[in-house]
Structure 1
Amino acid sequence: MKLTSIKLKQILENRFKNPEYRTSFNRDKDQFRIEWRANKKGINVKLPSVIAKYNERGDEVIDELVDHLEEALTIMNEVHHLTGMEKHIFPVIRSTSFPQTTNDKKKLVTKEHTAETRIFYALDLGRSYRLIDEEFIEKEGWTEKRIHENALFNLRSLKLDYKVDQVQGNDYYFLATQDGYDASRILNDTFLEEMKQKARGDLAVAVPHQDVLILADIQNDIGYDILAQMTMKFFAEGRIPITSLPFIYENKKLEPIFIMAKNKPRNND
């Protein structure tokens, strides 16, 4: 079946027939919206991106989308607290273009990271999570500093299992536990320092999407080309893309780089 925006809209309307929901379709923006009738809290879905993934993977994409929407809508109607949930606060990495406000215009708590990435914070709720906004922490009597320190402490408790591939004299490490915080592990300075000490060449790091962290021990020029191709592929396939640009890790700092074909990288000025 060739999926169009109109067909996808009809599929989603059929999947969300609950009378407590209201759905709408913005033809100009090619966007579907589902919200609670009672409080008008809801989610916008950009249909072209769903169709692109459907063309690659088929019906499972729609099933995953419906599961995600149902979970997110449920969370919107729940009351959450930070106190008592301290062990469930984690940092999440997003691109710098990721919205810094919620759909209902609440400002999210963020912290600068690199020229390509920004740190957000999440309250883990099991199958999903809620990004933490400033109004939320004010009501709870917390501070942004406390959120950040708590999130990094919890991050360090996450396992660091990875797989290794050796390609043309270079070592590539893939950390993909699917716990929602794989890319976040780029904030684990101790881990990055250990990998830097272990590397025989340059250490490059990439977070193409939320569910993977790639580290590369680059020992020859072709290693950069391989990393560039790898990062772009992951970026295109990720559910929540972050950046297709890798980073060089030197002197405990991450610098985004452009990788030119068959050449070593140039700094992203």
Structure 2
Amino acid sequence: MSTIKLKRTLEEALQKPNRSIAFDREKEEMRIENSDTKKGVTVALGGILAKFEGNVQKAAEETIYYVNEALNAFDESGKKEEKEKRIFPVIRSASFPAEAEEGVPLFFDEHTAETRIYYAVDLGSTYRLIDEKLMAKEKWTAEQIREIARFNLRSLPLEMKQDTVAGNVFYFLNSNDGYDATRILNDRFLKEMSEKMEGDMTVSVPHGDVLIIGDIRNETGYDILAQMAMSFFAAGRVPITALSFVYEDGHLEPIFILAKNRPHKD
């Protein structure tokens, strides 16, 4: 009789919308788990009652505390896993602030003379840049963030539009997901694009919401590229750099487009 009373007390105290509770009458065991993750706790009611010498109230108090602590820990673990699925690198200009508004240092890596790699947790309609305070709270190391971000980056779509101007081919990636320019960090993607080139391969990230890859097949192409990059840079909500890069053997070299279409590597 005490077992049934304890069962009812626990069911009433532990029931929540995202939990499921099952009772094995034969074993006198109760299973409480998160309905989404299926992680949970199994409690032997007979053993609990024996421990507290049949005192249902004390047995219930102990069990409720133990189960809630365990399930909350599972929930936090799940939330952390979900958060890590939303970590992405973010390309910004080399002059972008190195600290958050509160003076907390942001976590970033150097990329080129013109660009830096910051890291962000995607929140849907916006994102939060990762700073040292958030890293400490989540117990993330720098290497973990880099590895997770690069992995997540590869999951982003790579649909490009193509345009031909004066014999030169330009590819535009403009999905407006906040990470268009960031695709410049997808080494596999850049390598695959380089295999399609007939001329020099250039990469431009004038602002955060566009990536331009050029197949520059004649000298006029460099003038077109310079005008295009400057136009996008001036119109961008998050400007990065009006300079473009030559991609060769896996490396990016900033170039200045000089008079008479002659490119000059920085």
In the superposition, the TM-score normalised over structure 1's length comes to 0.69
State the partner residue of 1:165: 163
Choose from 110, 130, 133 the match for 2:131.
Answer: 133
State the partner residue of 2:98: 100
Tell whether the 8 Å contact from 1:86 to 1:150 is kept in structure 2 after alignment. yes
Q: Partner amino acid for 2:221?
A: G
Mapping for residues 1-269 of structure 1, pairs under 5 Å: 82-268=80-266
Q: Structure 1 segments of 4 or more deviating over 4 A?
A: none
Runs of 5+ consecutive residues of structure 1 not aligned to the other structure: 1-80
Take 1:84 and 1:208, find their aligned partners in 2: how far apart are those partners?
Answer: 31
Name the SS of the counterpart of 1:198 in structure 2: coil
State the partner residue of 1:75: none
Take 1:185 and 1:173, find their aligned partners in 2: how far apart are those partners?
Answer: 13
Q: Partner amino acid for 2:254?
A: P
Name the SS of the counterpart of 1:84 in structure 2: helix
Take 2:193 and 2:81, find their aligned partners in 1: how far apart are those partners?
Answer: 35
Residue 158 of structure 1, CA deviation: 0.4
State the partner residue of 2:35: none
Partner deviation per Cα, 1:207-264 (whole Å, 9 max, x = no partner):
0000000000000000000000000000000000000000000110101000013222
Residue 135 of structure 1, CA deviation: 1.5
C-alpha change, 1:82 and 1:122, in structure 2 (3 Å) is: farther
Take 1:184 and 1:264, find their aligned partners in 2: how far apart are those partners?
Answer: 28
Residue 139 of structure 1, CA deviation: 1.5
Tell whether the 8 Å contact from 1:208 to 1:241 is kept in structure 2 after alignment. yes
Aligned residues: 188
Residue 140 of structure 1, CA deviation: 1.0
Q: Partner amino acid for 1:116?
A: E
Name the SS of the counterpart of 2:260 in structure 1: coil
Take 1:103 and 1:213, find their aligned partners in 2: how far apart are those partners?
Answer: 28
Partner deviation per Cα, 1:23-80 (whole Å, 9 max, x = no partner):
xxxxxxxxxxxxxxxxxxxxxxxxxxxxxxxxxxxxxxxxxxxxxxxxxxxxxxxxxx
Take 1:177 and 1:92, find their aligned partners in 2: how far apart are those partners?
Answer: 15
Take 2:88 and 2:80, find their aligned partners in 1: how far apart are those partners?
Answer: 12
Tell whether the 8 Å contact from 1:83 to 1:140 is kept in structure 2 after alignment. no
Residue 87 of structure 1, CA deviation: 1.2
Tell whether the 8 Å contact from 1:122 to 1:132 is kept in structure 2 after alignment. yes
Q: Partner amino acid for 1:232?
A: M
Take 1:94 and 1:223, find their aligned partners in 2: how far apart are those partners?
Answer: 26
Take 2:124 and 2:169, find their aligned partners in 1: how far apart are those partners?
Answer: 34
Take 1:202 and 1:148, find their aligned partners in 2: how far apart are those partners?
Answer: 30
Take 1:182 and 1:204, find their aligned partners in 2: how far apart are those partners?
Answer: 16
Tell whether the 8 Å contact from 1:164 to 1:171 is kept in structure 2 after alignment. yes
